[in-house]
Amino acid sequence: MSEPASEQVLRVDAYPTHEVGGYRVRAGKPFPFGANVVPGGVSFSVFSDQATSMTLVIYKRGEPEPTAELEFPQEFRTGSVFAMTVFGLDHENIEYGYRADGPYDPVTGHRFDARQVLSDPYARLIAGRDVWGVEPDRSRGYQYRSRVCLQDFDWGDDTPLGIPAEDLVVYETHVRGFTRHPSSQVTAPGTFAGLREKIPYLKELGINCIELLPVFEFDESDNPRTNPETGEQLFDYWGYNTVSFFAPKAGYAATGRYGMQGDEFRTLIKDLHAAGIEVILDVVFNHTAEGNEQGPTISFKGLDNATYYMLTPEGYYFNFSGTGNTVNCNHPVVRNFVLDCLRHWVADYHIDGFRFDLAAILGRSPDGTPLPNPPLLELLAYDPVLRHTKLIAEAWDAGGLYEVGNFPAYGRWAEWNGKYRDTVRSFLKGDPGVTGELATRLAGSPDLYSSRGTSASVNFLTAHDGFSLADLVSYNDKHNEANGEGNNDGGNDNASWNCGAEGPTDDPEVGALRLRQMKNALAILFTSQGIPMLLSGDEVARTQQGNNNTYCQDNELSWFDWSQVDENSELLRFTREMIAFRKRHRELRSTSHPTGQLRDTLGLPDISWHGERAWQPDWSAESRLLAVARCGTGDDDVVYAAMNSHWEAHDLELPALPGGRSWHLFADTGAEAPHDIRTPGAELELENAGKYLIGPRSVVILVGRTPDTEL
């Protein structure tokens, strides 16, 4: 609300002191960086350590040539910060950038070129890729144009949900892929608004946290390859190639052409929160879209190359990211850039957490050496604004640094647990000698996270990177020919098994086994301690036709096909009930690793291991059967899960239950639907209390509780 005119204070800083390039200006405030609307004008502030001069370049929206070039007067420079307030700008209808002049000497790391117009690293809106997939006019000199953004969104009473980490059920998805398929039936397919229309589906599924693949502005047309089979243009579909870190991707917004992507994204977040769903962003700070010395100059390279990138003594780019360059994240200035960026997403977008792509790089020093106490990671862990956000690391990088279990956590960081994925996959396909490690993974990986608790482990079997769940049980080998790289891209170590036929098959036995294997995977995932993460579409058997690296596929290989919601309703129901079961049983979500100690109330330990005989797990090299019983914290039920990856059935002797409890069947993946799973709380009491026959390659989940008296 503006003040009545009589009470308005006349501010001296609302008046110009200089005239530059026909515009009235005055010295701006160095902080905050970026373009900020101030009384009567816009304050522009940009950092460059080595620039000898800096020019603000202003365009009318969409015009190829600038309308004004305003060189910063020397007296507007504070330290290495250039700051100027320009009055009388129609900030809604301008785009801006910078020309930085300075030394061009790659050996010393400097690549200044005043001919290039540079994007503001702090731009909160970017124009130039407003609508997804539109072929850009590459003849234009300035491609990714910074825009001024008002911060006037009405959040109403939106506050962080603060869901305890151990209670999270994460759903990893792609903004465009989730609703782009025509079957989605949303108003604006492939957008934030489209995703917003699907919130009821997410709510019904039971997830309470959505993790979005990169949403910072990137250039989807930044892929020179074509599909060798069809000749179609390939994309940078995933978006792990950030062009601008503070700007939401315009092409993900139905209103991107209006510059309203910020409002559209915030509206989605607000509605997700209202539905009890947190939002985590997948963020990429390990590299940028500027590539190596062959790559384009977009922003950092021309503003302060030697500050922002890790460079070899000869001035070349270190490549720990596998994409050409490596962000120099532990440089004090770059550290602050990352911090400012994350604070912006938390404060201005109400984001609940972040997953850091190739986060091991964030622990490297400017010369690439892993640091014992990386200042950036410590800074993020203790920052006041980020204090209650979830921080999740992909704890490895492309330079060979693998820190799963050893990531510098400061009591705050969780990790994508790659060992969980590999172990459970190996068990599922029937590898021998995995039961010992499987037990460790089910219990929240105490070997890796003994001092950090179970919620340091984000458990997943599939993610955007790799096979989908349906493909994990349908393909022995990757089939990435459509990516145009001769099937040489993507991981080769998939621990997958096709159940007897490679790819699509009409064989009903193979089909039934695949469905059972998917249920087995989900049953194990949702009864493991740690934070479960589900890949979007796995609940309805989404296939990528054996492609385990669909980073470039903006088509049905990547899109969620909503017709599968009906077609694969059996698997969807199974997933929903598994999630509901996890929510019902606190012992599956305990923050501390189980110790095997007796629970006073029940006379049973918090965790116990079993095999064909109760209390006698088989840890031998040939064992493919393991059962675990947990009991608890907060409820008096006992949860028993038996996992059989053997191709033969086994008779299970069930452990005796204390205090009038009896075993009730919740799930048996070997049973035909609808008997494969029941609604939590409505489990069926076993007639033969001490025994249960577990079928070949099946998972059985029982609940030990007091029988229903009213039945």
Partner 1 sequence: MPLSVSLSIEGDTTVIELEGELDAKTAPDFHQTIEKAAGHGTSTVEIRMAGVGYMASAGLRSLVFAQQKVGEHVTIKVVGAIEPVSRTIRTAGLDRSIVLTDD
Binding site for partner 1 (CB under 8 A): 1, 90, 92-93, 150, 152-154, 187-188, 191, 193, 196, 253-255, 258-260, 263-264, 266-268, 270-271
Kindly tell me which of 87 and 316 has the beta carbon lying closer to partner 1.
Answer: 87
The tokens of 43 are what? 């304050």
Kindly tell me which of 78 and 267 has the beta carbon lying closer to partner 1.
Answer: 267
Give the other-Cβ count within 10 Å of 420's Cβ.
30
Composition of the chain by helix, strand, coil, percent to 5:
25, 25, 50
> What's the min distance (Å) between Cβ of 46 and partner 1?
25
The torsion angles phi and psi of 333, rounded to 5 degrees, stand at -70, -40
> What's the min distance (Å) between Cβ of 205 and partner 1?
23
Kindly tell me which of 277 and 702 has the beta carbon lying closer to partner 1.
Answer: 277
Kindly tell me which of 186 and 473 has the beta carbon lying closer to partner 1.
Answer: 186
Let me know if 75 is a catalytic residue. no
> What's the min distance (Å) between Cβ of 246 and partner 1?
18
Cα-Cα-Cα-Cα torsion 306, 311, 314, 319, nearest 10 degrees, comes to: -150
Q: Closest Cα to residue 682, out of 694, 670, 669, 664?
A: 664
Residue 66 near residue 57, CB atoms below 8 Å? yes
Kindly tell me which of 89 and 607 has the beta carbon lying closer to partner 1.
Answer: 89
The torsion angles phi and psi of 516, rounded to 5 degrees, stand at -65, -40
Alpha helices (H) in 350-417, listed in sequence order: 375-382
Q: How many residues does the chain have?
A: 711
H or E element: which one contains 682?
Answer: none
Beta strand extents in 249-351 (DSSP E only)? 278-283
Residue type, 668: D
Separation between Cα atoms, residue 2 and residue 564, nearest integer Å: 52
Those residues with Cβ within 8 angstroms of residue 187's Cβ, 6 or more apart along the chain or in another chain: 193, 194, 197, 254
> What's the min distance (Å) between Cβ of 153 and partner 1?
8
How many Cα neighbours within 13 Å face the side chain of 182? 0
> What's the min distance (Å) between Cβ of 69 and partner 1?
22
Kindly tell me which of 190 and 680 has the beta carbon lying closer to partner 1.
Answer: 190
> What's the min distance (Å) between Cβ of 93 and partner 1?
5
Using CB atoms within 10 A of its CB, is residue 560 exposed (0-12), middle (13-18) or buried (19+)?
Answer: buried
Q: Work out the end-to-end distance of the chain between its first and last CA atoms, rounded to an integer number of angstroms.
A: 62
Cα angle 329-332-335, degrees, rounded to a multiple of 5: 40
> What's the min distance (Å) between Cβ of 80 and partner 1?
34
Kindly name the residue from 357, 415, 465, 561 that is annotated as catalytic: 357
Kindly tell me which of 89 and 518 has the beta carbon lying closer to partner 1.
Answer: 89
> What's the min distance (Å) between Cβ of 587 and partner 1?
40
Kindly tell me which of 215 and 395 has the beta carbon lying closer to partner 1.
Answer: 215
Those residues with Cβ within 8 angstroms of residue 29's Cβ, 6 or more apart along the chain or in another chain: 43, 45, 83, 85
Helix (H, G, I), strand (E, B) or coil at 656: coil
Let me know if 357 is a catalytic residue. yes
Kindly name the residue from 130, 219, 352, 394 that is annotated as catalytic: 394
Active site (catalytic) residues: 357, 394
